[in-house]
Every structure is written in structure tokens, then in C-alpha cells.
């Protein structure tokens, strides 16, 4: 863990997507926040081609650090970035995201009110003509409506727009690196609340998620979300922080959530988006039951809190 020098450390994990990293870093140069008050830590999670050539042009525009690790998944990559970060707060986003220009300003304002909590912002899909990206974002929107009905307490934030005090992140044990496919953000949020910390939803804190999905990548995404959901519920059960029955309360509210979320989708696309939601449930269930069978001979354990005294969709 580096000594504190910046107000924010922005941590960006990436794997085999140099073009997206470039666009993400260009967005960082447009942040309306003094460059001396934040740093960017890019964590290359074992990409086939090193990212030195992608990151180097930004050295004179940003306080930027590039680190590389063997491929271990985004949760482990975020932990590696947090270990070298020198910011008082850690702000997490992904390589396919573009934070709004006032992203860090809005986060700073929120931390002024809640300096010891987790802040989660709103994620927006700018690819309106991509039905797979639209459906995937709609699923996130329904999850946020269900879990974050009140700004505080909130219960779930995605890891592409989440910020925490660095010291509390380390004391909580960081992301659970055993989650290789998905749900490491859900597990961190659940553990964060379980140990008594606050979570606040801040819809004015915006990140644009340029997730250009295809039918295949949409199905694989939700297969992996189903696998991650199984691991999440196993860890939560052992920790005693909740029951799967509580999350099942999502489904009686599903018709209302769906109606409200689809209100802004053009009528010509509603049938296709609705079919994709059926695929979401099917592949989510397949992933969940695959992991049930696959993990019958092994377990995923929760990370242990450190002794440091300083002050990651629905499945």
C-alpha cells in the first residue's frame, strides 16, 4: 500500500483490450479535476501483448502507473492496483468505461457527506442501437432499482462505478480474488455492509459503459454471472450475512421493474430486448447449476480482514 499523496486513485483492470484502455485513458484526461489530485493505476491482468505502448503516451498528461500480473481475474487485478495506490479514496472503473468529466468532483462532494462509506454511481449505456448492450444495461438498472430503492442504505453497486476510502477497503480485505467470472462486486458490497460500513447510491456520479456486446458475448456474460451468483451465495451463507430467499424477492417485483425500465426503449426494439431477457434468465440458471455441480468438490472462501489499523447483477 503506497503512502497517501492523492485525493483519488482511479483503478482500471484490463485484459486483452488495448483499444478500450486507450479510450478510457483519453476520458481520464478530460476529467474536470486537477491532475495533481488524482492518479490512474492500470492493472494489466496478463494480456497477450504488454500495454506499455498504449499507456506511455499518457505519462505527460496523467499521474499514471502501469502494473502487470499473471491472469487472475478482475477482482485480483483491482486488489493489485489498490496495493500500490496512493490516494485517500479508491475509485474503480473498467477499461470499457468513460467517466463523466465531473466524476471525481461528484464523488468528492459525496465523500464530504459520508467520508467513511462506499459510494456507488449510475452506469449509462451509450450504445443505444445495440440490443445486447441495451438488454444488459436494463438488467443492471432493474437490479439498482431493486437493491438501491433508497440512497442510503443501498445494497449493490457494480465495480465499474464504485469508490471507497482506501484504508477501509484494505481493512475489509478487498475484493475476493477467488471470484474469477463475476459477482466479486456483489460479494464486496455484502461484506461491506456485514462488517458495519455504509453504502450510498449517488445517481449523479456518472460512468458511460461502452460494452459492445454480441449475441454470443451476451449469453456468455450471463452464464458467467450465474456462475458467480452461486459462489456469492455460498460465501454469504457461510458468513451468515444473508439468505438466497431474500434475493428471490426480486422476482415478484420483476413485472413492475421490467415495465419501468423498458419505458424508454423504442417500441420497435422491445420484442427483441424481451427475448434477450429470457436468454438472460436461461443462461444465468445454466451457469448457476453448472457451478453447483462443478463446486461440489471444492469451496470458495471469504477473504480475511487485515490487521492494518489505518484508516463488485442479479443472480
pLDDT at 312: 38
**What is the pLDDT, as a whole number, of residue 261?**
77
Residue 136 Cα distances to 44, 125, 217, angstroms: 25, 9, 11
Amino acid 262: pLDDT: 79
Residue-wise over 151-183: b if at least 16 C-beta within 10 A, else e? eeebbbbbbbbbbbbbbbbbbbbbbbbbbbbbb
The pLDDT of residue 38 is: 98
pLDDT at 301: 52
Say if pTM beats, i.e. exceeds, 0.75.
yes
Q: What pLDDT, on the 0 to 100 scale, is given for residue 264?
A: 77
How far, in Å, CA of 269 to CA of 249, rounded?
A: 28
- The answer to whether 21 touches 97, Cβ cutoff 8 Å, is no
CATH class of 7-294: alpha beta
Q: Parallel, antiparallel, or unpaired: how do β-strands 97-99 and 87-92 relate?
A: unpaired
**Predicted pLDDT of residue 220:** 96
Using 70 as the pLDDT threshold, list the residues of the chain that sit under it: 1-3, 151, 243-246, 248, 296-315
Residue 199, classed as helix, strand or coil, is strand
At 2 the pLDDT is 58
pLDDT at residue 250 in the model: 76
pLDDT at 269: 81
Amino acid at each position: 500500500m503506497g503512502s497517501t499523496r492523492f485525493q483519488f486513485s482511479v483503478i482500471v483492470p484490463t485484459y486483452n483490450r488495448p483499444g478500450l484502455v486507450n479510450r478510457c485513458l483519453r476520458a481520464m484526461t478530460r476529467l474536470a479535476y486537477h491532475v495533481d489530485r488524482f492518479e490512474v493505476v492500470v492493472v494489466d491482468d496478463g494480456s497477450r501483448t504488454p500495454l506499455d505502448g498504449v499507456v506511455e503516451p499518457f505519462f505527460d498528461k496523467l499521474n499514471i502507473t502501469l502494473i502487470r500480473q499473471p491472469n487472475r481475474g478482475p477482482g485480483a487485478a483491482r486488489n493489485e492496483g489498490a496495493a500500490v495506490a496512493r490516494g485517500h479514496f479508491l475509485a474503480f472503473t473498467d477499461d470499457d468505461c468513460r467517466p463523466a468529466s465531473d466524476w471525481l468532483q461528484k464523488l468528492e462532494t459525496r465523500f464530504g457527506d459520508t467520508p467513511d462509506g462506499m459510494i456507488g454511481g449510475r452506469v449509462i449505456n451509450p450504445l443505444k442501437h445495440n440490443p445486447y448492450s441495451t438488454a444488459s444495461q436494463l438488467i443492471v438498472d432493474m437490479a439498482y432499482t431493486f437493491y438501491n430503492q433508497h440512497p442510503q442504505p443501498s445494497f449493490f453497486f457494480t465495480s465499474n462505478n464504485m469508490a471507497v476510502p482506501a484504508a477501509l477497503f484494505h481493512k475489509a480485505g478487498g475484493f475476493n480474488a477467488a471470484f474469477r467470472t463475476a459477482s466479486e462486486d456483489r460479494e464486496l458490497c455484502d461484506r461491506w455492509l456485514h462488517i458495519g460500513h455504509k453504502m450510498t447510491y449517488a445517481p449523479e456520479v456518472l460512468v458511460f459503459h461502452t460494452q459492445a456486446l454480441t449475441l454470443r458475448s451476451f449469453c456468455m456474460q450471463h452464464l458467467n454471472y450465474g456462475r458467480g451468483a452461486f459462489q456469492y451465495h455460498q460465501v454469504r451463507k457461510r458468513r451468515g450475512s444473508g439468505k438466497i430467499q431474500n434475493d428471490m424477492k426480486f422476482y415478484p417485483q420483476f413485472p413492475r421493474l421490467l415495465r419501468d425500465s423498458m419505458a424508454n426503449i423504442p417500441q420497435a426494439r422491445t420484442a427483441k430486448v424481451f427475448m434477450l431477457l429470457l436468454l438472460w434468465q436461461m443462461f444465468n440458471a445454466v451457469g448457476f447449476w453448472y457451478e453447483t455441480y462443478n463446486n461440489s468438490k471444492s469451496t470458495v472462501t471469504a477473504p480475511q480482514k487485515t490487521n492494518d489499523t489505518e484508516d463488485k447483477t442479479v443472480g
